[in-house]
Amino acid sequence: MKCIWLQAGELDYKELPRPQPAQGECLLAIKQAGICGTDRELLRGYYDFSGIAGHEFVATVEAGSAAWLGKRVVADINISCEVCELCLRGLQHHCPSRRVVGIKEQTGAFAEYLCIPERNLFEVPDSMSDYQAVQLEPLAAALEILDQITLTETDKVLVVGAGRLGRMVCRVLRACGHKVSVLVRDKAKAAKALRGIEVLSQVDSACPFNVVVECSGHQDGMALALSAVEPRGTIVVKSTYASALTIDMSQLVVNEVSLVGSRCGDLGKAIQWMLDSGDEFDAHLRDGKVSNFALSEFEQAFNEAGNPSLEKVVFDQFDR
């Protein structure tokens, strides 16, 4: 099968044998796989990963148990052990021996085929397009925030960064009825992509926010978040940084700010949320500009993925 191989900060287009599903696994034929910020961080060395990257995907089950054959699916990318104490407590995403598809010790989706345990699969409803399905993983990550903190109607929320995840977080929080502002570098560009959301190019320290969600992916995003949050407020950190981050901990202590790290969410909840969310959220997804590529065009695709005004870059040209 054809795939994109990542090693020592370099990408390569390769031909490898088609993987064979182990006991309890299904073989998936990838229909669409999206490039996200994490993939670009992997290239820069955020994790010591070598192999096939890619973790945002929709696929068809090609081999495995009869119950799943032919179904269109997405998958939880965390492959946990199911027997350790954290797994038994329902915290599989934090299993110490977990593998993560396309990120940690597990082959990813920038390939024609992928094997994954059956227990990780979620069927995609027929009413959902492939493009919507590929957004379920980032959508679940955005919804995870609402599982971790309680937002009230009067809370003022600031999202730092209007990259793909930042925009997703803005849309989700707004669709849930919260008052959201977004802090960006280029106000004109972001305003177009974020209808109905207040776009700021700087924060006024006299009007701090109760909750700040850091999605910038940049080292200075955290300092901006700290300057924008009110005393006793909460900073939710969504960004992963390629190198260690220095922050002013005294500011955190003096202002009694809570810091919440936030990663993957529940795909089942994301599917239901997307089905329930109605037209406005869906229109935002459909509005976005998408770039479509074949795996062999990986260099161009990863270059395009660096353009933050593009809604999504996907591999969806497979000639199996």
> What is each CA distance from 274 to 76, 140, 284, 294, 296, in whole angstroms?
16, 10, 12, 27, 32
Structural contact between residues 48 and 73, judged by C-beta atoms closer than 8 angstroms? no
Helix/strand/coil percentages in the chain, nearest 5: 30, 30, 40
Nearer to Zn ion, 109 or 229 (CB): 109
* Interface stretch with Zn ion, choices 32-40, 45-53, 264-272, 308-316 (CB under 5 A): 32-40
DSSP string, 63-116: ES-TTTTT-EEEE-SEE--SSSHHHHTT-GGG-TT-EEETTBEE--SSBSEEEE
The nearer residue to Zn ion, 223 or 290, going by C-beta atoms, is 290
Of positions 87, 101, 271, 314, contacts Zn ion by CB under 5 A: 87
Question: Which of residues 88 and 254 has its CB atom nearest to Zn ion in the complex?
Answer: 88
The partner residues of 121 in beta bridges, in order of sequence, read 75
> Which one among 95, 128, 142, 224 touches Zn ion, defined by CB under 5 A?
95
Question: Binding Zn ion by CB under 5 A: which of 16, 29, 84, 200?
Answer: 84
Stretch that binds Zn ion, among 14-22, 75-83, 120-128, 307-315 (CB under 5 A): 75-83
Q: Does 264 bind Zn ion (CB under 5 A)?
A: no
**Interacting residue with Zn ion among 16, 29, 63, 81 (CB under 5 A):** 81
Q: Is residue 80 close enough to count as binding Zn ion by CB under 5 A? A: yes
The pair of structure tokens assigned to 78 is: 């965390």
Beta bridge partners, 260, equal 236
Say whether residue 27 binds Zn ion (CB under 5 A).
no
CB-nearer residue toward Zn ion: 80 or 210: 80
First to last CA, the chain: 9
Place of tokens 């994301």: 270
Among the candidate windows 6-14, 29-37, 201-209, 289-297, which touches Zn ion by CB under 5 A? 29-37
Question: Residue 32, interface with Zn ion (CB under 5 A)?
Answer: no
Query: Could you write out the three-class secondary structure of 297-312?
Result: HHHHHHHHHCCCCCCE
| Residue 135 interacting with Zn ion (CB under 5 A) | no
Residue 262 interacting with Zn ion (CB under 5 A): no
Task: Return the number of the residue (196 or 306) whose C-beta is nearest Zn ion.
Answer: 306
Q: Is 117 helix (H, G, I), strand (E, B) or coil?
A: strand
The residues binding Zn ion (CB under 5 A) are 36, 38, 80-81, 84, 87, 95
